[in-house]
Amino acid sequence: MIGNPEDMMVEAVKRATKRANPALEKLLEVHLRLNANSGFELAYRDPKRFKDFVNRLFGEYSGRLLEMLIVDEIKRMLEIGEDLENLEKAVEILRMIV
Amino acid sequence: MNPLQIFVESSKKLTPSLIEYEVGTEVEMIVYRYLEDVRSYYDDVLMVSFVDAHVAFLEYLKRVLRRDVLRDVEVISLLSKKFKDSESAPLIAGRLGSIIEGKRGKILAVFLGLDFYSIVFSEKSLLELFPRIVNLTRYNRNLNIVSVFNGAIFSSSVSQMLYTFSLNVMKLSIERTDGDFKRVLTIIRSAFPEYNLRRWHYDVIGDNINFMFDRSSNSNHFKLHP
């Protein structure tokens, strides 16, 4: 059980990336380190900026798919059926619940 | 012919078609180029968008091409966050059927975001919806269908269904070789059997797509047409 909301988000990003394509996890990590000087924790600290970097790397369409997968992972981890539209909402929920 | 031209010509002869993609394959540019190539062949082109998939698609094109594109494509937005319409497969199919039934001439319907729909609702919902989408041709015999879908993130039953119902299939994937990532386009199924299971590596530079035939997918009976 992961108790820290930022750790939960990092885990959700890892799981979502693995679902999409396991080979891309490392690629995204390196891309964030080089360009944002951050890791997957950026998804929690600044979700909008995280999405911008993902879109630049994978394209907006794949970026949106990955965002939906991350949100889906958060919903599974929290065991909630809530209708979460985007990463920003998921971060809000994490901050409230965890 | 390059693989996109093969897919374009094949999709005119066979329907439904499927563009299966993986994250990172710049599927937006492939779909855009496809639409540019086929636009004059059809009287109407519809972009059926689930869960605002067309918004992400158009954002990419605006960023890369720096101009408004696809202005002569009609967007039908379903399950948008702005309008909470029903996710029921029969209702969606009925609504689309009534739109398509009223069209005259050759029609192309490109389905974006069926994968988004499946993430938000369920795989079961998609398993109920997709056969109904394929059946839309009964509303209008001049309808051709192309679905854009990421099959890798779902169970094998979803991929099997998509492949079973699609007569023309192109797959976009990412291949890792020697620490490098390459984009690969494979013609899985088409109206031209001599090209089936042939692969091309491709790069997207600006609004250009450069294809390079993968000779390892060649065989003795296959002749490459440059």
What pLDDT shows up at residue B91?
Answer: 95
Long-range interactions of B160-166: CB distance < 8 A, separation 24+: B161/B127, B161/B130, B161/B131, B162/B18, B162/B20, B162/B130, B163/B18, B163/B188, B163/B189, B165/B16, B165/B130, B165/B131, B165/B134, B166/B16, B166/B17, B166/B18
Position A77: which residue type? M
- Interface residue of B21, B22, B23, B117 to substitute, partner A, most A CBs within 10 Å: B23
In a domain, B225, yes or no: no
- Whether B116 sits inside 8 A of A55 (CB atoms) is no
The ipTM estimated for the assembled molecules is 0.90
* pLDDT reported for residue B187: 98
**Does a structural domain hold residue B54?**
yes
- pLDDT bracket for residue B69 (50, 70, 90): confident
Q: Cβ of B174 and A23 within 8 Å?
A: yes
| B183 has a pLDDT exceeding 90 | yes
pLDDT at B222 over 50: no
Closest Cα in chain B, distance from residue A3 (Å) = 25
B126 in a structural domain: yes
Flag whether residue A39 sits within 8 Å of chain B, measured between CB atoms. Answer: no
> Which residue on chain A is closest to B23 by alpha carbon?
A62
Q: Is residue B109 included in any domain, yes or no?
A: yes
Question: What residue type is assigned to position A70 of the chain?
Answer: I
User: What's the token pair of residue B59?
Assistant: 């954002």
Structural domains of chain B, count: 1
pLDDT more than 70, % of chain B:
96
Q: What is the mean pLDDT of residues B166-189?
A: 93
B223: pLDDT strictly greater than 60: no
Residue-level pLDDT at A1: 54
* Chain A residues near residue B115 by CB distance under 8 angstroms: 65
Query: Which residues from chain B sit within 8 angstroms of residue A61, using beta carbons?
Result: 27-28, 53, 56-57, 60, 112
A20 with B152: Cβ contact below 8 A:
yes
Residues 152-171 of B with CB under 8 A from A: 152-153
Q: Give DSSP secondary structure letters for A11-74.
A: HHHHHHHHHH-TTHHHHHHHHHHHHHS--TTHHHH-HHHHHHHHHHHH-HHHHHHHHHHHHHHH
Residue B168 resides in a domain: yes
Verify whether the Cβ–Cβ distance A65 to B115 is below 8 Å. Answer: yes
Residue span of the structural domain in which B77 resides: 3-217
Instruction: Specify the pLDDT at position B220.
Output: 45
Mean pLDDT of A42-67: 97
Inspect the interface and report whether the beta carbons of A61 and B53 lie closer than 8 Å: yes
pLDDT value at residue A92: 94
Does the residue B226 lie in any domain? Answer: no
Q: Indicate if the alpha-carbon torsion angle B19, B20, B24, B25 is positive or negative.
A: negative
Q: Could you tell me the pLDDT band of residue A3, with boundaries at 50, 70 and 90? A: confident
| Average per-residue pLDDT for chain B | 92
pLDDT in tens, A14-40: 999 999 988 889 999 999 999 999 999
Task: Label residue B225 by pLDDT band (50, 70, 90).
Answer: very low
Phi, psi at residue B133, to the nearest 5°?
-65, -45
Q: Write down all domains in chain A, each with its CATH number in brackets.
A: 5-97 (1.10.1200.200)
| Cα of B153 to nearest chain A Cα, Å | 5
**B219 has pLDDT over 80:** no
The C-alpha of B146 sits at a distance from chain A's nearest C-alpha, in angstroms, of 17
Q: pLDDT band for position B180 (50/70/90)?
A: confident
Tell me which residues of chain B, numbers 171 to 190, contact chain A at a CB-CB cutoff of 8 Å.
174, 176, 181
CATH number at residue B115: 3.40.50.300
The confidence score (pLDDT) of residue B57 equals 96
For B100, residues 6+ apart whose C-beta sits below 8 A from its C-beta are B46, B107, B109, B136, B139, B140, B143
Q: How confident is the model at residue B56 (pLDDT cuts 50, 70, 90)?
A: very high
How does residue B177 score in pLDDT terms, banded at 50, 70 and 90? confident
DSSP code at position B139: T
Quick check: is B223 in a domain?
A: no
Q: What's residue A84's pLDDT?
A: 84
Per-residue model confidence (pLDDT) at position B110:
98
Interface check for B83 against chain A (CB to CB < 8 A): the answer is no
CB B57 within 8 A of CB A61: yes
Tell me what percent of the residues of chain A surpass a pLDDT of 70: 97
| 53-82 of A, contacting B, C-beta below 8 A | 55, 57-66, 68-69, 72
d(C-alpha A40, C-alpha A25), whole Å: 10
How many residue contacts between A and B have a Cβ separation below 8 Å? 68
Residue B222 lies in a domain: no
pLDDT single digits (tens) B104-155:
999 999 999 999 999 999 999 999 999 999 999 999 999 999 999 999 999 9
Does residue B218 register a pLDDT over 60?
yes
